Chain A
Amino acid sequence: MTAQAIIQSLASGLLMGLLYGLIAVGLALIFGLMDVVNFAHGEFLMIAMYASFFLFAFFAIDPLLSAPLVAAALFVFGAVVYLLIVRFAMRAKANAGMVQIFSTFGLAIVMRGLAQFFFTPDYRSIPQSWLGGKTISVAGIFLPEPQLIGALVSILAFAGLYFFIHRTDFGRALEATREDPGAVALVGIDKNRVFALGWGLGAALVGLAGAIMAVFFYIYPDVGASFALIAYVTVALGGFGSVFGAFAGGIIVGLVEAVTALVLPPSLKSVGIYAVYLLVVFIRPRGLFGSM
């Protein structure tokens, strides 16, 4: 194994890792805001990929251009999911954790069923996008353009999210609600609006990831499941609720996956991620950047 090959796989791992981070950050945001894990997160990703596919197939809009549209659509979808399901799940007095888990799980199953019903279980792909199949080479390292753009978008999205949380009124309302959902009502902040906004934002971020991934992954009803598990691991690794943790966790997961693929057969590449995750939570049960 040459140094070249190792650097090549680390570079690919880094690009993939940034995308993992982008998928995970919405999950982290929602968890940090209201202590809820969205078990339909992978299905959010799946519908974003389909949205991107159909915008391309019917209107010939390149995924690169449709990404903001898909993100906006997912924003609305996320807010609606909060208002129709999660809001009621939060009211449960008995078995609260269980109700949250299974109401979002049930939603995931419905979404998968709907995708199968309307789009059939066939695998789809976007063969001729602007970026598809192109690579650039930097000092002998080949970087596929779609992944590169994906990584750039991830970094921009993280920066944007950071700015949003720390510099805008809505972001401050988000932070305040996270600190004390009861007290914000006294200063006239509607808790439900803030939570709906949080869900919308979380969904928009995973929508962005899905739109970009549609270029270089097959699209089918179950596609979300494997990415969702990686997203949960990423978030738990970084520490639930920490947006920065999701960013760092994503990079770690991407790199670990790349290194594992070098030493183990490809079918075992996720084992490396899971092993590192278990190791981290056993040493730090709150994840790397989790508080408390």
Chain B
Amino acid sequence: MDKNFAARRRRDLIIAAVLAGLAALAPLFIKDVYVQNILILTLMYAALSQSWNILSGYCGQISLGHALYFGIGAYTTELFFTKFGVLPWFGMLGGGVIAALIAMGLGYPFFRLRGHYFVIATIVIAEIGLLLFQNWEWAGAAMGITIPIRGDSWLKFQFLRTKLPYFYFALALCCLAWFVTWWLEDSKWGFWWRAVKDNPEAAESLGVVVFNSKMGAAAVSAFLVAIGGAFYAQFLAYIDPESVMGFQFSLLMALPAVLGGIGTLWGPVLGAAILIPMTELTRSYIGGSGRGVDLIVYGALIVLISLALPQGLVSLFSRTKAKGATR
């Protein structure tokens, strides 16, 4: 069993390396800017969902307020950049740290809440953040911030002529989020999280420090999501509260994991790879009329998959594999 687990982890790492290598080569063949754009968004949502999955999937604390951390990453980066001329890289890290600290600060009261009470508290806190930013004059209020062009370089993290650098950053972020998950999965924390998710009382009685392990999950999760927010802000070159902190982001982060498989290493990647291109394509081919057909398709898919495959699409693979192993 242990041997199988170690072998599986090694195999996961190899598959991930091969996939990342193939993805890195993709722009050699895909020159179409529209398709590149979809790839960038897919990688970004895979990274975000992977990060969300750490707290909500592995540790079982379902958050529908992660847009807060996404927005904090975006705003910290851009406020530092536009107001003080601080390079986006520092703003990005700063945003990650602030988001992690806020996540832990909120953890004190929030982690006492159970089930639906926790979910609703996370929605509410993100909504408060949204309202505050919409009314915060210094941060551009509801109008938001247009990011000034200061150059075309990795140093300034701004690229005018090509989208490729954004693609490689998104790929790197996706790899980072995946690797962090992979690494934590087999750490003390990873085992604690699964114990906390399955049965907090039993975990507590066996010496798992439930509260601390939730705090750890929240901090890692929020930090990575904020990095994603900082990236998104640089990528769009424009932010306003609704477009970086709106409820749809909380949902869009959760959905790939839900679709692919919650609390699994590959779920968020698989989910994002299917969901994001589908969303973008339905939006441009049938959603352009503004008549909501994309929403209907999208929503129906969520209902069907969550009912038919509660463990996500990855369960299709593991099921066949488990059968193969026993035979």
A binds B: yes
Which residues A221-249 have CB closer than 8 A to chain B?
Answer: 221, 225, 229, 232-233, 236, 240
Residue tally, chain A, CB below 8 Å to B:
52
A110 within 8 A of B: yes
User: Which residue of B is nearest A121, CB measured?
Assistant: B290
Beta-carbon contact of A106 and B299 below 8 Å:
yes
Which among B11-19, B124-132, B144-152, B226-234 touches the partner chain? Answer: B124-132
Residues of chain A within 8 A (CB-CB) of B127 are 229, 270, 274
B33 within 8 A of A: no
The proximity string for A residues 102-119 relative to B, scoring 1 for CB distances below 8 Å and 0 otherwise, is 110111111111111100
Decide if the interface of chain B is mainly helix, strand, loop or mixed.
helix
Quick one: which of A111, A112, A268, A287 contacts B131, CB cutoff 8 A? Answer: A268
Quick one: which of B109, B120, B304 contacts A282, CB cutoff 8 A? Answer: B109
- In the assembled complex, the CB of A8 is this many whole angstroms from the nearest CB of chain B, namely 25
Which among B22-30, B94-102, B110-118 touches the partner chain? Answer: B110-118
A192 within 8 A of B: no
Cα(A96)–Cα(B307), bound, Å: 10
B274 within 8 A of A: no
Which residues B300-322 have CB closer than 8 A to chain A?
Answer: 300-304, 306-307, 310-311
Residues of chain B within 8 A (CB-CB) of A97 are 62, 115-116
Residues on A facing B (Cβ under 8 Å): 31, 37, 85, 88-89, 92-99, 101-103, 105-117, 120-121, 221, 225, 229, 232-233, 236, 240, 265, 267-268, 270-271, 274-275, 277-278, 281-282, 285-287
Quick one: which of B131, B290, B299 contacts A267, CB cutoff 8 A? Answer: B131
Total CB contacts across the A-B interface at under 8 A: 137
Residues of chain B within 8 A (CB-CB) of A95 are 262-263, 310-311
Cα(A109)–Cα(B305), bound, Å: 14
Those 3 A-B pairs whose CB atoms lie nearest each other, nearest first:
A113-B295, A116-B292, A109-B299
Beta-carbon contact of B303 and A113 below 8 Å:
no
Residues on B facing A (Cβ under 8 Å): 62, 64, 109, 112-117, 119-121, 123-125, 127-128, 131-132, 134-135, 247, 251, 254-255, 258, 262-263, 290-304, 306-307, 310-311
Cα(A102)–Cα(B304), bound, Å: 10
- In the assembled complex, the CB of B226 is this many whole angstroms from the nearest CB of chain A, namely 22
Cα(A116)–Cα(B299), bound, Å: 13
User: Which residue of B is nearest A236, CB measured?
Assistant: B120
Cα(A85)–Cα(B299), bound, Å: 13
- In the assembled complex, the CB of B149 is this many whole angstroms from the nearest CB of chain A, namely 31
Residues of chain B within 8 A (CB-CB) of A105 are 251, 302
Indicate whether A98 sits within 8 Å of B123 (C-beta atoms), given known contacts A113-B295, A267-B131, A278-B109.
no
Indicate whether A92 sits within 8 Å of B125 (C-beta atoms), given known contacts A101-B119, A106-B299, A106-B303.
no
Residues of chain B within 8 A (CB-CB) of A286 are 117
Beta-carbon contact of B116 and A271 below 8 Å:
no
- In the assembled complex, the CB of A285 is this many whole angstroms from the nearest CB of chain B, namely 5
User: Which residue of A is nearest B311, CB measured?
Assistant: A94
Cα(A104)–Cα(B251), bound, Å: 13
Residues of chain B within 8 A (CB-CB) of A110 are 295-296, 299-300, 303
Beta-carbon contact of A117 and B128 below 8 Å:
no
Residues of chain B within 8 A (CB-CB) of A121 are 290, 292
13 residue pairs bridging A and B, Cβ less than 8 Å apart: A98-B262, A101-B62, A101-B64, A102-B303, A103-B302, A106-B302, A106-B304, A117-B292, A229-B124, A229-B127, A267-B134, A268-B131, A285-B114
